[in-house]
Amino acid sequence: MFPLQSLSLLMSPNQSRAIRLFLLLVALLSLSLPGVRAKETEPNFLIIAIDDLNDYVGCLDGHPNASTPNLDRLANMGTLFTNAHCVSPVCNSSRTAIWTGLRPTTTGIHSNPVGWFREKPGVGKVVTLSQAMLANGYASYGYGKLYHQVRSSEGEWLRSQAYFYGPLQDPKVNFNAGWTLTDWGVPPNGVRASHDAEIAQRTIGALQDSHDRPVFIGCGFYRPHTPMYAEQEWFDLHALDGVRLPRGAVEGDTEDLVYFGKRERRPQDVEAPGLWTHDWVEANGNWQEIVQAYLASTSAMDHELGRVLDALLESTLCDNTYVICFSDHGYHLGEKRHWGKATLWEMATRVPFIIMGPGIPKGVVCNKPVELLSIYPTVMDYAGSTPPHDLDGRSLRPLLEDANADWDHPAWTTFVDHHALKTERWRYIRYASGEEELYDTKNDPHELTNLALGLADKPAIVETLNTMRNQLDGFLESKP
């Protein structure tokens, strides 16, 4: 930058005393300007949120047909957390936790129907991450779906634009399952598949702008959230006859379930169906088609993410920007006969989570259990800022500096009044009824065998259960 160039010129013996004094004054003046100093010393942040993306990602090897070259590229540029989990397996509570740094057990925002956190006593005035960055001298821009609601808090963004996922240009585009949120396919001519291209373009504009201070940019993509619309080229990429059904969808897998396996996701209505039920999908022969649409929607989103990543790499911000990319929660496509999210199994809680930036080693894979709740404290840590309130999560900086660092912190996911803990090896679920599930995900990655049943001759399993019971009890007792 100019101040450093001026200082180097000062040292030249060929310069006259007057010129050197002039250059000294220019350099000191430039260094005193807040915007210039910030660009030299303060990091930038690009937060990329994806909606409803599970592990059907190339670098996570969740589905043999997955094609996500840009997510894979981003993973090679930083740290990929392979055991990352959402704080809650639905949009509203997950995103509220990310932006406030507070768990559902703290805010009371534990599901979608509970509403907007700004309207809740006790948490309505909480300082969100983007507000904290504004207060620390950042320019804060947000585009797309960052919150569940199509709004943001007053004073959060200097510039923003939110979009709703549907209907798009034609509210009558319901040409498959009969309702917008359960629709899929290539939209008719004149109907765009999603707003993701526009969200990407606005984010690119923010990256290319001139800035007099560091920037904090939120980019929220909608796909692969339903309706699973994508252009024909992405369906062609995943030809139907080659699409495999989910690896974890095994006949009889629901026999040892104690809660979610005993009920339908939502009642199915012929006139206006809710989310798909497995019986409906099988009866109509649409399983393969919907998986294809999910893969196509994911690849379409990945393409737009690639455009944003290219713009960052070509910008003046590239060497001093942290990128944090994640999905708000996972998604079932028939595993355990379930469709959608809102469960405490691996497919609904495990998410892609990648962080890259200055000083972070490239191409690192970390298998420690981590939570999206760590985004707020991690940004504060790398920004050198003090959080405006006590945060429920912890910074991931120790793992970003050493993926094998000691980390005895299970990931805790909450849905309404049900809870799950995830360690490197185990998943423990306790429902409000007191019923439990336990899975050895190291040896049983698809969670096919609930080890919490028939414990009479399983002393080692009882010991593991007791350990995780005590951990969850301790977490719950520590919350208000």
Catalytic positions, written as ranges: 91, 148
In angstroms, how far apart are the furthest CA atoms of the chain? Answer: 90
Alpha-carbon Rg for the chain, nearest whole angstrom, is 24
Beta strands in 162-249 (DSSP E): 184-185, 215-220, 228-229
Between β-strands 215-220 and 321-327, what pairing exists: parallel, antiparallel or unpaired?
A: unpaired
Q: Is the dihedral of CA 284, 288, 291, 297 positive or negative?
A: negative
Contact status, residue 351 vs residue 54, Cβ threshold 8 Å: yes
Q: Residue 298 has which token pair? A: 């994911």
Q: How far apart are the first and last CA of the chain?
A: 50
The region that residue 127 occupies, defined by phi over 0 for left and psi between -120 and 50 for alpha, beta otherwise, is beta
- Edge-first strand order for the sheet with 426-430 is 411-415, 418-422, 426-430, 436-440
Distance (Å) of CA 461 to CA 97, 346, 469: 32, 20, 12
Contact status, residue 295 vs residue 238, Cβ threshold 8 Å: yes
Q: Residue 288 has which token pair? A: 């393969």
**Residue 286: how many CB atoms within 10 A of its CB?**
18
d(CA 336, CA 252): 8
Contact status, residue 320 vs residue 43, Cβ threshold 8 Å: yes
What residues contact residue 281 under an 8 Å CB cut-off, 6+ apart? 287, 290, 334, 339
Residue pointed to by tokens 């925002």: 109
